[in-house]
Copies of this chain bind each other. A is one copy, B any other.
Amino acid sequence: MSKRVGIRDVAAAAGVSLTTVSHALSGAGQLSDATRERVRSVAADLNYAPNRLASGLRSKRSQIIGFVSDEISTTPYAGRVLLGAQEAAAKNDWVLMIVNTSADPRFEGRSIEALLQHRVDGIIYARMYHQTVAVPEALVGVPTVLLDASTGNDHISSVVPDEEGAARTAVEHLIAAGHRRIGYLSNVDDIPATRGRLDGYRATLRAHGIEVDETLITASDSTTASARAAAALLLDRSDRPTALFCFNDRIAMGAYQAAQTRGLRIPDDLSIVSIDNFEILADAMLPGLDSVALPHYEMGQWAIERLALELQADGDDDDAPAPQQIRMHCPLVTRQSVGPPPH
């Protein structure tokens, strides 16, 4: 760690001025290819690395993106979101500064303040499951993209999963296998996913000429234990459904357990499909669970790329791209939990 080499060392070694070095390295200015190359190779030889604090201070671009999320800690999806965001960020030579607010508004406020003090170039305001949110006061004027969250107004870009589409994909998977009596294990929280998936379920049945039997719809909270009980209600009926669509994988696990307790084999006696594709669960279940994947990685990636776009046009007020609200496609991942209905 002998004294870090600075731009002036490079200038001295290359026999040019500070300006020339700066231009050569950043690509700005009009330099002859010869000098540019020479400066670059000298810099590389000296193992020069810029001090981002200094360049950020001067240029007003820190190359840092703030990532504000509610509960990175308690959800297993966070990793994929983060990875997507981070890999996209690296392509832009950005680095992520991440804060977990634990859904505590006070802590959220302080966290955003901290990010702003570090002069982040923009912020990804993320939720770990699809929610409608109010963007915090502190973020007005800061380039922001919402991830797995949306808000009433359309002044801000956002990306969420296409909940209705996900439900449609799942239900059509069952219909394609020949099922007509399809139960739905919904959840009870008043969130976009609940409404979207339920709407998608109903709409898809109707679109295929299947009448919606409201008694085939139950709801529980998203724990396996509660889902077990909800599934039992449907499976104990004499006219039980031949297939179950589950709000998410944890609920599907409850359905598996209820089926097992009753001696029903999956998929021979009962087909099951759900949404999440939470691999640790879906792969581990016996048989493997067919599940529609939520595009966590892709949402993370999209959010950063969108922010890049909006940041690029920053300053030029005119050609600033209009904010975009995206509902992202959710692909089906098949394993072994769906088969034809028993005759």
| Complex contacts, A83 vs chain B, CB 8 Å | 72-73, 100, 102
| Complex contacts, A80 vs chain B, CB 8 Å | 73
**A contact set with B: CB distance below 8 Å:** 1, 49-54, 56-57, 62-64, 71-76, 78-80, 82-83, 86, 90, 93, 95-100, 102, 107, 110-111, 113-119, 140-142, 223-225, 228, 250, 253-254, 257, 260, 278, 280-281, 283-284, 286, 297
Q: A75, B79: Cβ atoms under 8 Å?
A: yes
Could you name 11 residue pairs across A and B whose Cβ atoms are closer than 8 Å?
A: A1-B141, A52-B117, A54-B57, A57-B57, A72-B83, A75-B79, A83-B100, A95-B97, A224-B284, A254-B284, A281-B284
| Complex contacts, A75 vs chain B, CB 8 Å | 79
Per the bound structure, the CA–CA distance linking A116 and B63 in Å amounts to 13
| In-complex Cβ contact of A51 among B117, B141, B280, B284 (8 A) | B117
| In-complex Cβ contact of A76 among B79, B98, B284 (8 A) | B79
Quote the shortest CB–CB distance from A1 to chain B (angstroms): 4
Contact of A228 with B286 at beta-carbon distance under 8 Å, contacts A96-B97, A117-B51 already known:
yes
| Complex contacts, A63 vs chain B, CB 8 Å | 118
Contact of A117 with B228 at beta-carbon distance under 8 Å, contacts A76-B76, A76-B280 already known:
no
Per the bound structure, the CA–CA distance linking A275 and B1 in Å amounts to 42
Quote the shortest CB–CB distance from A78 to chain B (angstroms): 5
Per the bound structure, the CA–CA distance linking A214 and B95 in Å amounts to 50
Q: A1, B140: Cβ atoms under 8 Å?
A: yes
Per the bound structure, the CA–CA distance linking A54 and B54 in Å amounts to 8
**Would you list the 7 A-B pairs with minimal beta carbon distance, nearest first?**
A1-B141, A73-B83, A224-B284, A73-B79, A76-B76, A53-B57, A52-B118
Per the bound structure, the CA–CA distance linking A114 and B253 in Å amounts to 42
Contact of A72 with B76 at beta-carbon distance under 8 Å, contacts A50-B117, A281-B281 already known:
no
Q: A62, B72: Cβ atoms under 8 Å?
A: no
Question: Max chain B CB contacts within 10 Å: which of A74, A102, A110, A115?
Answer: A74
| Complex contacts, A99 vs chain B, CB 8 Å | 86, 95-96
| Complex contacts, A257 vs chain B, CB 8 Å | 286
